[in-house]
Amino acid sequence: MAVLNTTDIMKLIPNRYPILYMDYVEEMVPDESIVAVKNVTINEQFFQGHFPGNPVMPGVLIIESLAQAASILILSSPKFQGKTAYMTGIDNAKFKQMVRPGDVLKLHVSFKNLRANMGTVAVEARVNDKVATSADLMFVVAPDEEVKA
């Protein structure tokens, strides 16, 4: 049973189709951890070119899916509601298994540290309980005004 459905997710994060890589949230312990789900289907637009005849989900999009799950966890906290979380870094990224159409990608995120409006989360994308991708993601939550690059 979903804790948050797609409509609930879109109320928390700004991502929309075609770059919303989240179907629902399966588990969430606020300010601690989340398990979100992305059902990978052959209809994904990136499979048209990655790779014809051998569809594989691009690693960068697995990281993006994990970042979106992290954003849901971060922005569900009352102190960050209505704000936007931005990924500021990726450490220790490992790609251990290909993700293909038909896979159910379970996105596990847990806080490592949080200081004011920035922090680090440990993330794992799993398929059939096997780690496909893992990393540490750094983030910053923007103040009410837009972040300037």
Positions in the chain whose pLDDT score sits under 50: 147
**What is residue 80's predicted lDDT score, i.e. its pLDDT?**
93
**What is residue 143's predicted lDDT score, i.e. its pLDDT?**
74
Q: Catalytic site residues? A: 50
Cβ contact 25:71 at 8 Å: no
**What is residue 51's predicted lDDT score, i.e. its pLDDT?**
93
Say how many C-beta atoms besides its own lie within 10 A of residue 143's C-beta. 10
The class (CATH top level) of 6-141 is alpha beta
**What is residue 1's predicted lDDT score, i.e. its pLDDT?**
67
**What is residue 145's predicted lDDT score, i.e. its pLDDT?**
57
**What is residue 146's predicted lDDT score, i.e. its pLDDT?**
54
**What is residue 7's predicted lDDT score, i.e. its pLDDT?**
96
Cα–Cα distances in angstroms (integers) from residue 15 to residues 32, 64, 84, 91, 95, in the given order: 22, 11, 10, 23, 24
**What is residue 2's predicted lDDT score, i.e. its pLDDT?**
85
**What is residue 147's predicted lDDT score, i.e. its pLDDT?**
47
C-alpha 61/C-alpha 15 separation (Å) is 13
